Amino acid sequence: MFYRIFEEDKDFWWQLKIEEKNHSFLLESAKKAFFDSNKFPQGIVSASLEPLIDANNNLRKMIDDFSSNPPSREIAFNTALKLEISAGEIHYQEAIRQPDESEILKILRKLNGEDKDHERRIREYMEVKKIKILKAF
């Protein structure tokens, strides 16, 4: 949505979108390949579904709100930053960094490559473009 709204940041948002889609495809592929054989690492998803359900519901609401009332550039970037810091992203990053050398984690580490550290890249882009990072971040 943001790459369509903010022409001046179109390339940045497009690249992030592609990487997030690859990230999603990677997890879905890993789930299909390893979940049934009980080889899917437990740390990738929260043990409790409630936080994930809440996060998904909040994300749907935010998308609906932004569709009818597009955010400012500052709000868009701070929202992206908030999402990257979210529990799901933290669990995924923690799992990827685990010393476990299972085949699934080796694959995820290798394929994830560029998809890591979106938070850092968003912050750097905001700094270069002089977009204010809200105090909560």
Is 90 exceeded by the pLDDT of residue 76?
A: yes
Q: What is the mean pLDDT of the chain?
A: 82
What is the C-alpha to C-alpha distance for residues 119 and 133, in angstroms, rounded to an integer? 12
Q: Is residue 98 part of a domain?
A: yes
Parent domain of 118: 2-128
- pLDDT tens-digit map of 91-132: 666 666 667 677 777 766 666 665 568 888 999 999 999 999
- The size of the chain, in residues, is 137
Q: Is residue 108 part of a domain?
A: yes
What is the count of structural domains for the chain? 1
- pLDDT tens-digit map of 24-49: 887 788 777 777 677 666 666 666 77
Q: Is the pTM of this model over 0.85?
A: no
What is the C-alpha to C-alpha distance for residues 64 and 1, in angstroms, rounded to an integer? 11
Q: Is residue 137 part of a domain?
A: no
Q: Is residue 91 part of a domain?
A: yes
Q: Is 85 exposed, middle or buried (0-12, 13-18, 19+ CB in 10 A)?
A: middle
**Residue 81 neighbours by CB distance under 10 Å:** 19
